[in-house]
A and B are shown apart, each in its own frame.
Chain A
Amino acid sequence: MPRLAYSFPEEVLEHVFSFIECDKDRGSISLVCKSWYEIEAWCRRRVFVGNCYAVSPATVVKRFPKVRSVAIKGKPHFADFNLVPEGWGAYVFPWIKAMAAAYPWLQEIRLKRMVITDECLELIAKSFKNFSVLVLTSCEGFTTDGLAAITANCRNLRELELRESEVEDICGHWLSHFPDSYTSLVSLNISCLGNEVNLSALERLVSRCTNLQTLRLNRAVPLEKLANLLRGAPQLVELGTGTYSTEMRPEVFANLAEAFSGCKQLKSLSGFWDVLPSYLPALYPVCSSLTSLNLSYATIQSSDLIKLVSQCESLQRLWVLDYIEDAGLEVIAASCKDLRELRVFPSDPFGLEPNVALTEQGLVSVSEGCTKLQSVLYFCRQMSNAALDTIARNRPNMTRFRLCIIEPRAPDYLTREPLDAGFGAIVEHCKDLRRLSLSGLLSDRVFEYIGTYGKKLEMLSVAFAGDTDLGLHHVLSGCDNLRKLEIRDCPFGDKALLANAAKLETMRSLWMSSCLVSYGACKLLGLKLPRLNVEVIDERGPPDSRPDSSPVEKLYIYRTVSGPRLDMPGYVWRMEDDSALRVS
Chain B
Amino acid sequence: MGSYESELNLKATELRLGLPGSDEPEKRSCSVRSNKRSSRESSVEESRCKSNVNSDDSTTTSDHDQESVQPAKVQVVGWPPIRSYRKNSLQQKKVEGDGSGIYVKVSMAGAPYLRKIDLKVYKSYPELLMALQTLFKCTFGEYSEREGYNGSEYAPTYEDKDGDWMLVGDVPWNMFVSSCKRLRIIKGSEAKGLGCL
Contact = CB atoms under 8 A, between A and B. Distances in A.
B23 A416 contact: yes
B86 A296 contact: yes
Nearest to A246: B107
A9 B44 CA distance: 65
A299 B18 contact: no
A274 interface: yes
A490 B27 CA distance: 8
Nearest to B28: A491
Nearest to A463: B79
A248 B82 CA distance: 33
Given A275-B163, A276-B165, A349-B82, A86 B36 contact: yes
A75 B36 CA distance: 17
A83 B90 contact: no
Given A274-B159, A299-B162, A553 B80 contact: no
Contacts of A544: none
A192 B84 CA distance: 12
B62 interface: no
Contacts of B92: 274
Interface residues of B, number: 54
B22 interface: yes
Given A83-B35, A467-B3, A491-B28, A410 B19 contact: yes
B164 interface: yes
**Most chain-A Cβ atoms within 10 A of its Cβ — which of B17, B28, B85, B109?**
B85
A300 B18 contact: no
Contacts of B87: 349
Contacts of B164: 301
B184 A82 contact: no
A138, A298, A409, A467 — which one has the most chain B CB atoms within 10 A of its CB?
A409
A85 interface: yes
Interface string B35-68: 1111001110000000000000000000000000
B29 interface: yes
A347 B87 CA distance: 9
A79 to B, nearest CB: 9
Given A85-B36, A514-B31, 11 more contacts: A81-B83, A85-B35, A247-B107, A277-B197, A345-B82, A346-B82, A349-B87, A408-B17, A409-B24, A467-B27, A516-B30
16 contacts: A80-B83, A82-B77, A82-B78, A83-B77, A247-B186, A273-B89, A299-B163, A411-B19, A416-B23, A437-B81, A461-B81, A466-B27, A467-B25, A489-B29, A539-B36, A551-B30
